[in-house]
Amino acid sequence: MDLEIKGRHALVCAASKGLGRACAIALAEDGVHLTLVARGREALEDTARMIRNLAGVMVEVVAADVTTDEGRARILAACSQPDILITNAGGPKPGNFREWSRDDWLAALDANMLAPIALIKATVDGMMERGFGRIVNITSAAVKAPIDILGLSNGARSGLTGFVAGLARSTVSRNVTINNLLPGPFTTDRLEATLRADAALSGRSYEEVVAQWKARNPAGRFGVPEEFGRTCAFLCSAHAGYINGQNLLLDGGAYPGTF
């Protein structure tokens, strides 16, 4: 399927690894030019070279911390008018909420709620003026089914979800959609850290935890980033203009609810 976004420009956050990287690759395969953002320059440059060789699109990189005013200023100076915005940030540390300080909570809110809102604020009006925009926030399946050791993520990402629910209805008439992708367990560094934290807290071995997590998922496996990236690319396509304000689970059917 031709997604009809060839020649568009996407700003992709946390794009050097994991799900952000997969989204960037999928968009590039459909001819989208990219501005890639991450804190670590080396991994970011490696990803950019790979994508240029793979797809032949223009790829610019900005090594910056999206949670800071200075970092966002540099990002927006490089890409002030994206057609597509993918917000993404590494999840906050897992653990017991009794051990988290106010600073821990503020860091989680900065990364997983306030930074995405700031980028949306900076770009959404331009998208509406131009008559095309796709904003996809990578959040977490924990928004629908909270995980006890991920309380920082549960809280911050749910705040972003509520914000998007209010905003998305006011942009779609100008062909600007805002949706959230809620990944379950995908094979990323983040998942490995969560599994190791679960093993440490429960006293089980890492191998036991991995086997149990896979066994309790209806798919019997973890997701792979490539399938996440292709889903994101479709949401960014010209064909997805009637999908708006949604929280789309990619979790192998793990969420047990009807709605």
pTM for this model (two decimals): 0.94
Domain boundaries, the chain: 9-186+224-250, 188-222
Sign of CA pseudo-dihedral 61, 108, 86, 184: positive
Digit-coded pLDDT (tens) for 4-15: 999 999 999 999
Q: Which residue has the higher pLDDT, 193 or 239?
A: 239
Domain 9-186+224-250, CATH among 3.40.309.10, 3.40.50.720, 3.90.550.10, 3.90.320.10: 3.40.50.720
Task: Specify the amino acid at residue 161.
Answer: T
Kindly write down the DSSP assignment for every residue of 26-77, as one continuous string.
Answer: HHHHTT-EEEEEES-HHHHHHHHHHHHHHH---EEEEE--TTSHHHHHHHHH
pLDDT at 201: 86
C-alpha angle 232/235/239, rounded to 5°?
140
Kindly write down the DSSP assignment for every residue of the chain, as one continuous string.
Answer: ---S-TT-EEEESS-SSHHHHHHHHHHHHTT-EEEEEES-HHHHHHHHHHHHHHH---EEEEE--TTSHHHHHHHHHH-SS-SEEEE--PPPPPS-GGG--HHHHHHHHIIIIIHHHHHHHHHHHHHHHHT-EEEEEE--GGGTS--GGGHHHHHHHHHHHHHHHHHGGGTGGGTEEEEEEEE-SBSSHHHHHHHHHHHHHHT--HHHHHHHHHHTSTTSS-B-HHHHHHHHHHHTSGGGTT--S-EEEESTT------
Q: CA distances (Å), 225 to each of 74, 144, 148, in order? A: 28, 20, 24
pLDDT at 19: 97
Share of the chain above pLDDT 90, in %: 89
Query: For residue 181, what are the contacts with CB-CB under 8 A and spacing of at least 6?
Result: 136, 137, 138, 139, 228, 231, 232, 235, 248, 250
Digit-coded pLDDT (tens) for 221-259: 999 999 999 999 999 999 999 999 999 999 999 999 888
Query: With bands split at pLDDT 50, 70 and 90, how would you rate the model's confidence at 193?
Result: confident
pLDDT at 92: 85
Q: Which residue has the higher pLDDT, 147 or 242?
A: 242
Residue with tokens 């600007």: 176
Count of other CB atoms within 10 angstroms of residue 161: 18
Q: What is the C-alpha separation between 117 and 109, in angstroms, rounded?
A: 11
- Phi then psi for residue 211, to 5 deg, are -60, -40
The overall average pLDDT reported for the chain is 95
Check if the beta carbon of residue 123 is closer than 8 Å to that of residue 85. Answer: yes
